[in-house]
Structure formats: structure tokens, C-alpha cells
Structure 1
Amino acid sequence: MKKWKSLSWIVLLLTLVMGLAACGSGNASGNKDGGSASKGSESYSLLTGGTGGTYYPLGGQFANLWEDATGDKFTTQTTGASAENMATLQKGEAEVAFSQTDIATYAIEGKEMFKEKIEGIKAIAALYPETVQIVTTEKSGINSIEDLKGKTVSVGAAGAGVNINAKQILEVHGMSFDDIKPQNLSFEESTDGIQSGAIDAAFITAGTPTGAVEGLSAQNKIKILNIEKDKQEKLMEKYPFYAEDTIKKGTYGIGSDVNTVAVKAMLVASDKMDEDTVYKMTKALFEADKINHAKGEFIKPETALEGLGDIEIHPGAAKYFKEKGIEKS
């Protein structure tokens, strides 16, 4: 009798263990199939920039949006921004990244700072303008880009994006660095140099308003040089990653709108990311209730394909834009 009771307890315990295992198996299946429990089914890295820039805070918001939309995990990484991000993607050490449209173009073409073509990179979308600002002061007597001849001008660090912007803009005006006295200075060094009189003008490519330029305008009446319409068109024809831009009257205290050009901040992804994931990411990005950042107002599907030039669109992003009736110009 005792023997049968012992066997009965063993059978009961086995039944309970098997039942719990079945429940656990059911939950694992549920995690894989979707719903809030599915978070973490895939993990992706999003490359941003430095903590003091725009990419980093936007990246944190995008990661949260994408986790909610896809059920996957997105982890942001601080980096040296565009050029480093492109190289890291090619190594397979991340899947998504911020870049500027011009830097991404150089990467896929193997030009400028890239000695070899970087392959396997696709565009998700252009986000907001990184405006080319040619800054001087009212008292400098410089009224046009041609007036920069013979002047001491900051053109950014050698090989940096702004340095190449300066070369290209001077080029469409029939000029080169030989026509000016170029200085390789940071944005802060540039505005300090204008303030002290050490330099006459500076090329600065950044979202407006730019802190360094705001600091200069607090103590000086500044001037931003126009890029005339015909020169904009010539520039965009040769370098299709540029787009028209306007610095509005009142920015830095300027008295009228300034016509210029911009490259775009953009998102790129590895072509190994599946179409459905990137589709959900793109949809979430442009249909979010609010992106809590000053640049959020620029992030809209209508302008998301501007300035991308020859960079191919990821099939997942292309699917979303096709649904919205938006085509690459």
C-alpha cells in the first residue's frame, strides 16, 4: 500500500513539472510572435555622435520609437559621427547610423576621406538641414563670396565635411583655396577668430541656429553671405547631395533672409536589415506624435528623400514612401 502511495506522489510531481514546462514553452512562443512581451527578439545598435551634438539626443528618442514599433531592442552608441559611423557599419559592428548626406555619398563612392568604397549601406531618410553658413561681420566690408579673395577664411579641419563644402562652394564661384588665406579652425575657434580680428570670415556647416555663431552675434552685428540662385543650381547639379536652404530673417539678428545650401542629416542602415523591420522603423519615425527636439519640426516624409543623390533607399523605407506617394527627386 505504501509502495502505491509513493508511486502516486511521483506521478503527481511529474505531471506538475510537465505542466509548468508546457506553460513556459507557451510564453516563449508568445514572446516570439509579438505583443509587448516580444521586446528583445532582435538587438540592433544605433550609431549617433558626441553627447553635445544633435544626433545623440535624437538617437535616444528614435530608439524608443523603434522599440515600441518593432518589439526589438535598439541601443544607442556615442561616436565621432558621420565618417566613423559609415566605417563602423561596413565592419558589421552596428546596423543603423546617423550621417550627413555628403559624407554618406563620399563613403559609397570611395572619395574624399574614404580611400575605398563602403558597400552594403542604404538610406532610410533625410532628416533636417545642416546649413552651410558663410559668416562674417557687417564691418568686414565682405558682401559676397567673391569678396573673400585675399581674405583670411576658416574652412574647417582638413578633410572634414565643412572643409569639402568650402572647396565646392568656392569652386562654383570660380575660386579655390589658392584665392584665400585658408585656416583650419573649429567652429568655436572660427567665431573667436572673427571676434578678435584674426580672421575675416568662416565656413560653418551646422544646424541653425548654431551656438558658436549665436555667441558671436551677441557681441557683433554679423553677416551671412548669400549663395545666389544660379550658383546653388550649379552646385546641386554637380553635387546632388546639396539642397536649397534659407536662413530666416532674425536668426542671429540678421535683417533679411539669406539664400544658401545645406547638406542633410540622415539615417542609414545596413542592407542586411530585413525589409519589414526597416518599414516599421520608417513608419514610426514619421508618424510619431511628437519628437521632442528643436529639429523635430523638420523631420517629415515630404522632405525625407531630398539631398540623397545616388544613395539607394533601403527596400523597407522605400515601401513606406511608396505608400505615401513620395518619390526621390
Structure 2
Amino acid sequence: MQKIKFTLFSLRDLIIAFGPVTLMVLIVCGLGFWLVDPAPPRIIDISTGPENSAYERFAKLYAAELAKNQIQLRFKTSQGSQENLQRISDPDSEIEVGFVRSGSTDRADAAEKGLVSLGSLFYEPIWIFYRDKKELTTISQFRGRRINVGPDGTGVGRIFEQILSVNSMSADDVSFQHLDDTPATVAFLAGQLDVLVFSTASDAPLVQMLLQTPGVRLFDFVQAEAYTRRFPYLSQVTLPRGIVDIGLDLPARDYHLISPTATLVAHESLHPALTGLLLQAAAKIHSRADWLSKQGEFPSDRYTEIPVSGEAEKFYKNGAPVLQRYLTFWVANFIERMWVVIVALGALFLPLSKIIPPLYVWRIRSRIYRWYGQLRTVEQIIDNLSNSDKRATLEKQLNYLDEIEDKVNRISVPLSYAEELYGLRSHIQFVRTRVQSLLKSR
């Protein structure tokens, strides 16, 4: 314990000197933490699509990516785009994100419901499969046929009705069926349906199976450019010759397709940090080349009629936030949210760095210097002695000096201030010598 006293600095005085500053910093940090945006939640609810659909499969990939940053993605199946839009815009729903096919809404309606796009993810072409002895070249040739467009919630029926409208047709000119994709395919192959209309990714098993089924034809949108001019949410894509099977040369020629895109749609209340995290996952999952898109074409802020969120625009322009490239998501997010506090602390640091060291020195030296006042009092008393009580007064002051010296000997100061302490002790001895010389002269 004795060795602890002889240190280069006094921990106790250092703590007392820093105490008010530390308290101020804690108050500033607490106030800043209360004022800044709240931390992002650790759970995201997403609306996908039917079971075993491409939307559900991609949701599982997103869940795996988000789990790397301790974010849980809970997904709920649905009939498709229309139901997803309803869930996201419903204020009583916990769903904040969903997969939506472009063309399922319009810009004004999306803005009114507080919907924002995080970007398009991949092409979902309009696949029209039919049986006929001859190749059909126009949509009007499907007049009077039994056409399956999937359940109402998928949004395919809405898009196909728009296609019919520019061909001087309406839903009354065909017989719409609304079966799920798998039973519809079975009915089609059994001759109970004339036409199948899908809108799905190129790697969908049903699409790949139908492309290789003898007697089943794929409709070639030779007027694809005209459709994309009429409907901006559609893109013209090409199914290349031989892409299904190069050895068998399937298909035997290029096919023109029109395609909406799958879009990641969120409610505007989604935490901005989660927007960036979802887009980072999207970049890993959707940037690869496939049958219809090139490497790095997706995700993209194009091909969507829903306004792209500001956070998403920043991502497409600058990429992931700088801090998240080097730090974990939660650490980077904390720093990004607390930057105001960090700047404020930085502004306080310079003046405080000039105040605290002198304050610490003053606390140490004040232990020594306050005794000089006592010595000065003793000197004033002996300088103003009266002859009547001179000896008694001197003896009293001598005893007082002994008390001072005893208390000074108990003072603990860092070794770097020992010179002042020993100086005080020598000055006590100096005053004692004066008192003793006066006693002898008496």
C-alpha cells in the first residue's frame, strides 16, 4: 500500500479533475442518443408470393444474407404482387417489404399509399404458351380461347388485359381462367386450356419444362418494341437461340419477349439503414447473369413505375456506406447515427484539453500551497509580539508548527510534485528556527 502512494500521478485527483467533464460528455451523448434516429429493428417482415415460387426462393436467400448481420427476415406467402402491395400499404400490417411485379400499380397511387421502390431485381417476362398447328403472330389471334392468367392476386391478369386493350380486345373476347400455375399446366397439357400466361423468372421449372415439351409453342412478341413504347414499365428482352439446350438447339431461333421486372417495394417508414442492408443483399443475389440479363444489370433503379427511395438512390450512386465497408453493420450504423454527437464532442475536446491538465495540477499543488497560509499566519504573530506574553505565544506557535509538520508529513502527492512538498517541509523548519531563536533570545 505504501508503494501505491509513490506514483507519478494521482488517480484520485485525475478522476476528480475529469469527473465534471466526463459527466458533461455522458449528458451530451445521452441527449444525442435520444435526439438522433432510433436504431434499426432486428426483424423485417416481407411478403413474398405463392409457395415454391421464385419470390419465396429469393426471400430465403435474402434471409441468409441478412442473418449475417443479426437481422431476422420473416416472410409470409401471398398470391402475388397485388396482395403484397395491399399488405405493405396497410397501416395495420407488420409487412414493410415485398416483391412486386412492375405494372401492378401506378406512380400516383404508389405515392399516395407511401410506397417506395428499392429497385428492380430481375426480368419476369410474359411467357405465353399455346398449342396450335401454325404459329400465331398477333395477340388478336387468341380471341375466343381459354386463357389462364393465374390467381387474381398475381397481377398477371391486369397486365394481360392491358396487352389486350392495345390489340382492340377486352377480357370479354377471351375466356379467362384463374388457376394456380401447376394445376393450370396440368389442365393445359390435358387439353382443358388453350393458352397459359405466366410472368416469372426464366429459371422457373414450369417455364423450362414447357420450353422443352413437344407440341407446345412459345408466343414470339415480334412487336415487342411497340409494346414497350406503350407501357414504360415493360422492357424488351430476347430469349437467345439455344439457351435452353445448346446441343439440341432449343429454342431453334431467338424469341422476342416483353417483360415487367420484379421490384423490391417497401413502405416509406422502413428504417433507412435497413434499406441499404437489403440492397447490399440484392446486389449479391441478383447481379449474376442469367438467360435474359447481363452481369451487373441488376439490381437497378430503372424499370419501375414506383418512385425510388432517396436511400436507394444513394446506394445506386455511391454503393454501400463507407463505414459499412470496413466495420460491422451495427457499429457502422451507430457511428452514422451518432455523428452529430461525435462532432459536438470533437468541438468540446480542444478547449477541455487545455482546461483539465491545469485543473489537475492545481488540485495537487493546492494540498501543499494552502499550508503556506498557515506559515504566514505564524510569522505575522511572531512579528507582532508584545513583551507581556512573548514566551507563551512563541511556545504556542512552536507547538502549532509541530502540528502543521505532522499533517504535512501525511500529505500524499505524486513523485513529480515531491519537490514542492519537500520545499514546504524546509520552509516549516525555517519558521521553526526563527521561533526557536526568539525563544533563546528571550
User: With structure 1 as the length reference, what TM-score do the two structures score?
Assistant: 0.69
Task: From the superposition, tell whether residues 57 and 210 of structure 1 become closer, same or farther in structure 2 (CA, over 3 Å).
Answer: closer
Would you say the 8 A contact 2:287–2:299 is kept in 1? Answer: no
Q: Does 1:183 align with 2:181?
A: no
Task: From the superposition, tell whether residues 296 and 204 of structure 1 become closer, same or farther in structure 2 (CA, over 3 Å).
Answer: closer
Partner amino acid, structure 2, of 1:177: A
SS in 2 for 1:139: coil
Q: Which runs of 5+ in 1 are unaligned?
A: 1-28, 34-38, 111-116, 325-329
Percent identity, aligned pairs only, is: 20
Residue in 2 that maps onto 1:268 = 265
Q: Does 1:245 align with 2:241?
A: no
Q: Does 1:320 align with 2:315?
A: yes
SS in 1 for 2:66: helix
Residue in 2 that maps onto 1:15 = none
> Which one has a larger percent strand, Structure 1 or Structure 2?
1
Write the distance in 1 (CA, Å) between the matches of 2:240 and 2:253: 7
Residue in 2 that maps onto 1:95 = 96
Aligned length: 275
Structure 1 residue 62: deviation in Å?
A: 1.7
Superposed CA offset, 1:164-218 (max 9, x none) = 1221112222222333343333333433333233332222222224433444455
Write the distance in 1 (CA, Å) between the matches of 2:73 and 2:148: 36
Would you say the 8 A contact 1:140–1:200 is kept in 2? Answer: no
Q: Does 1:212 align with 2:210?
A: no
User: With structure 2 as the length reference, what TM-score do the two structures score?
Assistant: 0.53
After superposing the two structures, state which structure 1 stretch, 57-66 or 296-305, moved more: 296-305
Task: From the superposition, tell whether residues 122 and 200 of structure 1 become closer, same or farther in structure 2 (CA, over 3 Å).
Answer: same
Rg larger for: 2
1:54-65 equivalent positions in 2, closer than 5 A: 54-65=54-65
Write the distance in 1 (CA, Å) between the matches of 2:308 and 2:124: 20
SS in 1 for 2:125: strand
Structure 1 residue 219: deviation in Å?
A: 4.4
RMSD: 3.6
Structure 1 residue 132: deviation in Å?
A: 0.2
Write the distance in 1 (CA, Å) between the matches of 2:57 and 2:141: 39
Write the distance in 2 (CA, Å) between the matches of 1:119 and 1:219: 43
SS in 1 for 2:252: coil
Q: Which runs of 5+ in 2 are unaligned?
A: 1-28, 34-38, 320-442
Write the distance in 1 (CA, Å) between the matches of 2:292 and 2:157: 27
SS in 2 for 1:267: strand
> Which one has a larger percent helix, Structure 1 or Structure 2?
2
Residue in 2 that maps onto 1:278 = 275
1:187-206 equivalent positions in 2, closer than 5 A: 187-206=181-200
SS in 1 for 2:260: strand
Q: Does 1:79 align with 2:71?
A: no
2:251 to 254, 279, 286: 254
Write the distance in 2 (CA, Å) between the matches of 1:180 and 1:202: 13
Structure 1 residue 124: deviation in Å?
A: 0.7
1:1-329 equivalent positions in 2, closer than 5 A: 42-68=42-68, 71=69, 73-80=71-78, 81-90=80-89, 91=91, 92-103=93-104, 105-106=105-106, 109=109, 119-137=113-131, 139=133, 142-158=136-152, 160-217=154-211, 219-229=213-223, 232-250=224-242, 251=244, 253-286=250-283, 288=284, 300=296, 304-309=300-305, 311-323=306-318
